[in-house]
Amino acid sequence: MIWSMIWRQTDFRQTDYLFTPRGYLRMLKIGLTGGIATGKSYVLSVLSEMGCEVVDADSMAHRAIEPGRPAYFDIIDHFGRDILNEDGSINRAALGAVVFTNKSARERLNEIVHPRVYEAQVEWFDQVALRDPAAIAVVDAALMIETGSYRRFDKVIVVYCDPELQLRRLTERNGFTGEQAQARISAQMPSEEKLKYADYSIDTSNGFEDARRQAEKVYEELRALQAATPSLPLEKTK
């Protein structure tokens, strides 16, 4: 049996319904974002445990720049071969050292990679919809607000924490100096700005258990929202 996808635009956020023998079933598309070292990965893992379909946009970006892919050659053309490992793969640390201190270089890298990540996300959403037409599908993407891609989601969750804690987490996790860590934090939109776009927010400043409680509450609210949204009726055909 062939199912067809129906797209509609609501408040600039794309909502899809899957046509099945039971009618139109709604899949919620959720964007999860926040600054580096704010706890997004932990929140994503909790949402996955709760039953959400989840994916990390970083993993999609890593696949997009693998040797032989179009983005790989575009990056070499622009940044040169000095950012390559001995095996020819891109050294992400070396590339990061370039773009985090150079805004124009960072913007160029985003121009190369983000369209490929978008294509991968569209394919992933299609796969999720076929597996579970009533899924809550969550994409973890650090730059969705900066790039404007947040508009493609039904709801946006912003994860944040105390700035001093964010800096300490990043230095301890990545072995950066305070200056290196601050440069990476400063390269992103501040959390207070991101929060202006949030439908839901999760503060991870008070540890894992408190963050889990907040994530579970958001999940329950998303399920309630999904249940309260009437599915489209199955039209009769002559």
CB 93 within 8 A of CB 84: no
Q: How confident is the model at residue 25 (pLDDT cuts 50, 70, 90)?
A: low
Mean pLDDT, residues 85-96: 94
Q: What is the pLDDT of residue 211?
A: 98
pTM of the model: 0.83
Q: How confident is the model at residue 229 (pLDDT cuts 50, 70, 90)?
A: low
Q: How confident is the model at residue 13 (pLDDT cuts 50, 70, 90)?
A: very low
* CATH numeric code, 23-62+120-228: 3.40.50.300
Alpha carbon 165 to chain centroid, angstroms: 22
Q: What is the pLDDT of residues 128-178, one digit of tens each?
A: 988 998 899 999 999 999 989 999 999 999 999 999 999 999 999 999 999
Q: Which residue has the tokens 């009769």?
A: 236
The full set of domain ranges for the chain reads 23-62+120-228
Q: What is the pLDDT of residues 182-224, one digit of tens each?
A: 988 998 999 999 999 999 999 999 999 999 999 999 999 999 9
Question: Angle formed by the axes of helices 70-79 and 103-131, to 10°?
Answer: 170
Q: What is the pLDDT of residue 133?
A: 86
